[in-house]
Amino acid sequence: MWEVIKMDHSETVLKARQFMERVMEQMMLVNKFEEQVFALFAQGKVHGTTHLGIGEEATGVGSVFALEEQDYIFATHRGHGQVISKGAPIKNVMAEILAKQAGANHGRGGSMHIADVGVNALCIDGVLGQNCPIACGVGLSFKMKKQDDRIVAVFFGDGSMNQGAVHEAMNLAAVWSLPVLFICVNNTYGMSTPLHKVAADTDLTKRGYPFGIRSVQVDGNDVLSVYQTVREAREYIIKEGKPAFVVENTYRTSGHSKSDANQYRTKEEIAEWKAKSPIVRFRKVMLENGFTEAEADAIDERTTKAIEEAAAYAESCPEAAATPEQIEAEAYA
């Protein structure tokens, strides 16, 4: 897919101009997608709930871009960005959030369960951490079918890090030598709960140590570092046939869900993180590496347009539909 970028070598970065543009474009798409969903929510057009990942764009984009097409992912409940970065068409994902028949899951899943098996993005799980054992099964299938060119990456949050299922999965992946990449998106709060209130040791990489899993952490607001780290982890998994663990430290500037009144943090804290958001930071990197303001603005404009088109398409689609007989049959193959 993409050439690995050496962060300490500006010349290489320059060579990867096209790559940088693509990364920025994807982060902006993800960001604007979330902003658009928020706007549709405010207009009362989104049924149910949704979890936005504004401020976390570098984790989904940087990680998924480091994977190969044949790799699989399990996104989090805050996973719109992870799934569309894997290649799920934004119009289908938007249509799913609007509960339309044309949606990625035909309106059966919604924001919390978006999937696109066509691009190997399996179901987003609404029960935190439970996607990790399932990812082990996907990795096991690769091993049993001798498909040694692929891995499965499973995303979960700092809150899910305390789930037993995650630890059982880590042990299983380690003892069975499965090609599973565990990615913890540590966005500072589990809903409203700061990590230090629920973890005596907030260095989450240590959770991988007892299982003998190679564990590293990375500045999750630095998209190129995320990319580089996940790329290396992927290479390690393929070469060694063992799982790996990456903790991506970031911050969610949007609320947990529509019910979030931000009682657990200050406006100043949010403003501080907005100023160091992955997009703000990466724009600076681009400008330092030969991009003009006009070029950066052009990415902004075309992604805005793409999202607007996706939203207009989604709104125009008919509602999901089924007869009672059809819906009763749908849970079965």
Partner 1 sequence: MREITYAEAVREAMSEEMRRDETVFFMGEDIGVYNGAFGVSKGMIQEFGEERVRETPISETGFMGAGVGAAMMGMRPIVELMFSDFMAVCYDQIINEAAKQRFMLGGAVKVPMVIRTASGGGTGAAAQHSQSLEQMYCHVPGLKVVIPSTPYDAKGLLKSAIRDDNCVIFLEQKLLYRTKGMVPDEDYTIPLGKADVKREGHDLSIITYGRTVQMSLAVADRLAKEGHEIEVVDIRTLSPLDKNAIIASVKKTGKAVVVHEAVEFGGFGGEIVSTIADSEAFYRLDAPIKRVGALFSPIPFNPILEKMVLPGEERIEKAVRGII
Nearest to 73 by CA among 185, 197, 186: 185
Query: Which is it for strands 152-157 and 214-219: parallel, antiparallel or unpaired?
Result: unpaired
User: At closest approach, how far in Å is the CB of 150 from partner 1?
Assistant: 11
Do 61 and 30 contact (CB within 8 A), yes or no?
yes
Query: Which is it for strands 152-157 and 180-186: parallel, antiparallel or unpaired?
Result: parallel
The residues in 114-133 that bind partner 1, with binding defined as CB under 8 A, are 115, 117, 122-123, 125-127, 130, 132-133
Report if residue 71 touches partner 1, rule: CB under 8 A.
Answer: no
Q: Between 61 and 88, whose beta carbon lies closer to partner 1?
A: 88
Report if residue 138 touches partner 1, rule: CB under 8 A.
Answer: yes
Give the ranges where 164-215 is alpha helix by DSSP (H).
164-175, 195-198
Report if residue 165 touches partner 1, rule: CB under 8 A.
Answer: yes
Nearest to 220 by CA among 72, 326, 118, 78: 78
Report if residue 140 touches partner 1, rule: CB under 8 A.
Answer: yes
User: At closest approach, how far in Å is the CB of 311 from partner 1?
Assistant: 21
CA angle in degrees (0–180, nearest 5) for 236-241-242: 75
Report if residue 159 touches partner 1, rule: CB under 8 A.
Answer: no
User: At closest approach, how far in Å is the CB of 95 from partner 1?
Assistant: 11
- Cα–Cα separations (whole angstroms), residue 33 to 16, 39, 175, 181, 320: 25, 10, 39, 26, 21
Contact with partner 1 (CB under 8 A): which of 22, 47, 106, 274?
Answer: 106
Q: Which residue type sits at 113?
A: H
153: part of which helix (H) or strand (E)?
strand 152-157
Q: Between 112 and 279, whose beta carbon lies closer to partner 1?
A: 112
Contact with partner 1 (CB under 8 A): which of 28, 95, 98, 172?
Answer: 172
Report if residue 280 touches partner 1, rule: CB under 8 A.
Answer: no
User: At closest approach, how far in Å is the CB of 266 from partner 1?
Assistant: 35
230: part of which helix (H) or strand (E)?
helix 223-240
Residues that bind partner 1 (CB under 8 A): 103-109, 113, 115, 117, 122-123, 125-127, 130, 132-142, 144-145, 164-165, 168-169, 171-172, 175-176, 328, 330-333
